[in-house]
Structure 1
Amino acid sequence: MFAFCTDPESLGTLRWLACYLTTGKHMSFYAAFGTVLTLLAITAPTALAFGFAGAAAARSRVLPVSILGKGYIAVVRGVPDIAFFLFFVIALDQGFEWIRHQALCPDWTEAVRQGNDFVVCPEAKLPLGNAPQWMHEIYGFFLAVLTFAIVFGAFAANVLFGAMRAVPQAQIETAEAYGMSRRQAFWRILVPQMWIYALPGLSNLWMVLIKATPLLFLLGVEDIVYWARELGGAKTARFTDYPHGDWRMWYFLALLVFYLAFTRVSEIVLERLTVRLSHGQATAQGEAQRKAGA
């Protein structure tokens, strides 16, 4: 906050606005943009790892593993996202606490399930009751990342499973005929080629993931949607030094611009990545590159 912000009522319009936009709550609002970007930076590779594991499992010749992979894809894709987001946060939190409860409190005699209540010993709580606020926030963010990764990992698994099937089977058979094991053919032939087939679906999934970040608000994380609603609501002089009317439209307009700009940058990066991955591939894009270089 600037030095001239000591008396907001005596400020002109520009100085008042400068002071208003540099309050502690606005700094939290700006930091929330970093929270969203951090979520995307962590969730995207984690979801891709879940997706790759799910696709590989669905493709397995071992029946139980194949059923597990296909079941993961089918169940998560068949249920509305918001239901899973709300379910996984509660289920993961209680699951972690139950495991800690079994390990740390073996002499506990009371039932963990007591009607609608889930009761574990104080030592098993996550975070502990006396933990600082930042630990509660990090734990909530961790649960949100894991939930996003599980849900979007299922969609990524479906995309990668289709991409694996799009690679010509003759190439796999040829590799095995030349002495490669099934595992070698998978990592050296199938995986390098599948990305060009998977990229369109993964690109759409990335856009959906970006648009799903406002669900952090429903998961209890103070994200940009939370602060836009909090700061944009009408404020009177009784509750703040900077009273104003209902400005939520302007705050959400700022979020609209942010998301549009971010998705546009993503489109440019993905287009360049598609061109790079198409080089030398037996696709329409790869054929166009070969003709252009001829």
Structure 2
Amino acid sequence: MFEACADPKSIEGLTWAFCYLTSAKHVDFYWSFLTVLALLAITAPAALGMGFMGATAARSHIAPVSWIGKLYIWMVRGIPDIIFFLFFVIALDQGIEYLKNLFVCEDGAWPWQGLEFRVCQAAKVPLGSSSAVWHQAYGFGLAVITFAIVFGAFAANCIYGAMQAVPRAQLETAEAYGMSRRQVFRRILVPQMWVYALPGLGNLWMILIKATPLLFLLGVKDIVYYARELGGSKTQAYEYPHGDWRLWYFLGLLVFYLVFTRISEIGIARLSARLSHGQATAGGEALRRTAA
């Protein structure tokens, strides 16, 4: 990156350390932290949206809709995360390529030949000639969809329980005043259920943070990938050979996750206090006693 760093073998001391920490591989490592933050920023609202739809479907008075919502919650929660991540990503990727195969390939043949999946080169997603950026973006997109589906099921379970926790008497009173079911749902149930859902959703957010290293298993070059590559003594990063420094790199990741989770805990506590204000819950009662 710098002129003084052109020949790594001819430098030493602080100059070597400066050049090492500003090398192209390390710049990619620093950018990979933004990859993790972007995953959280996109996945969290997507999972929350899927969770809300799943919980609403599970509470539906229409039997088939209720079955679909409960099946989604039960099926995804019942499968180990790592199995779902590895299976679903492969299935989704092959499904996308199969649909593209129907339109762009001349023969449109069935792509599963025995245990092998084969489509024409034009049906590959992304194309083999595409740059590495597009491959990374595609892998990241598959990861976001998978994370949203998995954590959406857990969020749906939290939201469903929170909806059930809202006192039935309040809903009946609203109906007695002439509100329709949609009005009761929108004006009474949804605003109050968040205070009951927040503890579970807060824990789910913490689990989501800790699950981001699964990006490494999905082929996305995240902070775990670069920590292993840069810290190892025999990897692709040959410009600045060194001993096995993986301990220090993973220790840095440990500090990053601890700081991030601590900041999240503070934010969740403040949000919980705000939602509990005026509510007939233990949190609301604690706030009233503090004010008194």
Give TM-score scaled by structure 1 length.
0.95
One-letter amino acid matched to 1:269: G
Question: How far apart are the structure 2 equivalents of 1:28 and 1:109?
Answer: 40
Which residue matches 1:252? Answer: 250
239 and 44 in structure 1: CA distance in 2 versus 1, 3 angstrom threshold: closer
Question: How far apart are the structure 2 equivalents of 1:109 and 1:145?
Answer: 29
Question: How far apart are the structure 2 equivalents of 1:239 and 1:94?
Answer: 32
Out of 261, 272, 275, the position equivalent to 1:274 is: 272
- Is contact 2:165–2:196 with CA below 8 Å preserved after alignment? yes
One-letter amino acid matched to 2:216: F
- Is contact 1:235–1:242 with CA below 8 Å preserved after alignment? no
Question: How far apart are the structure 2 equivalents of 1:223 and 1:94?
Answer: 23
Question: How far apart are the structure 2 equivalents of 1:42 and 1:97?
Answer: 24
Which residue matches 2:287? Answer: 289
State how 1:21-170 maps to structure 2 within 5 Å: 21-105=21-105, 108=107, 110-170=109-169
Question: How far apart are the structure 2 equivalents of 1:81 and 1:194?
Answer: 27
**What's the CA shift for 1:252?**
0.4
Question: How far apart are the structure 2 equivalents of 1:239 and 1:164?
Answer: 52
Question: How far apart are the structure 2 equivalents of 1:165 and 1:239?
Answer: 54
- Is contact 1:54–1:72 with CA below 8 Å preserved after alignment? yes
Question: How far apart are the structure 2 equivalents of 1:132 and 1:240?
Answer: 23
Question: How far apart are the structure 2 equivalents of 1:8 and 1:128?
Answer: 36
Question: How far apart are the structure 2 equivalents of 1:83 and 1:199?
Answer: 28
| Larger mean Cα displacement after TM superposition, 33-42 or 122-131 | 122-131
Question: How far apart are the structure 2 equivalents of 1:226 and 1:12?
Answer: 27
Question: How far apart are the structure 1 equivalents of 2:134 and 2:3?
Answer: 33
Question: How far apart are the structure 2 equivalents of 1:139 and 1:245?
Answer: 34
One-letter amino acid matched to 1:271: A
Out of 247, 258, 262, the position equivalent to 2:260 is: 262
Deviation by residue 1:227-261 (Cα, 9 ceiling, x = unmatched): 1111111159x973322100010110010010001
Give TM-score scaled by structure 2 length.
0.95
241 and 90 in structure 1: CA distance in 2 versus 1, 3 angstrom threshold: closer
Which residue matches 2:230? Answer: 231
**What's the CA shift for 1:150?**
0.4
Q: Which runs of 5 or more structure 1 residues have no equivalent in the other structure?
A: none
Deviation by residue 1:11-66 (Cα, 9 ceiling, x = unmatched): 34221111111111111111110100000000000000110011001111111111
One-letter amino acid matched to 1:195: W
Which residue matches 1:207? Answer: 206
Question: How far apart are the structure 2 equivalents of 1:32 and 1:230?
Answer: 13
Question: How far apart are the structure 1 equivalents of 2:68 and 2:232?
Answer: 47
**What's the CA shift for 1:8?**
3.0
Question: How far apart are the structure 2 equivalents of 1:264 and 1:291?
Answer: 27
| Stretches of 4+ aligned residues off by more than 4 angstroms | none
- Is contact 2:230–2:237 with CA below 8 Å preserved after alignment? no
One-letter amino acid matched to 1:196: V
Which residue matches 2:5? Answer: 5
- Is contact 2:51–2:155 with CA below 8 Å preserved after alignment? yes
- Is contact 2:163–2:193 with CA below 8 Å preserved after alignment? yes
**What's the CA shift for 1:139?**
0.6
Give me the CA root mean square deviation: 1.7
Question: How far apart are the structure 2 equivalents of 1:3 and 1:128?
Answer: 36
**What's the CA shift for 1:109?**
5.1
109 and 203 in structure 1: CA distance in 2 versus 1, 3 angstrom threshold: closer
Which residue matches 2:185? Answer: 186
| Larger mean Cα displacement after TM superposition, 6-15 or 185-194 | 6-15
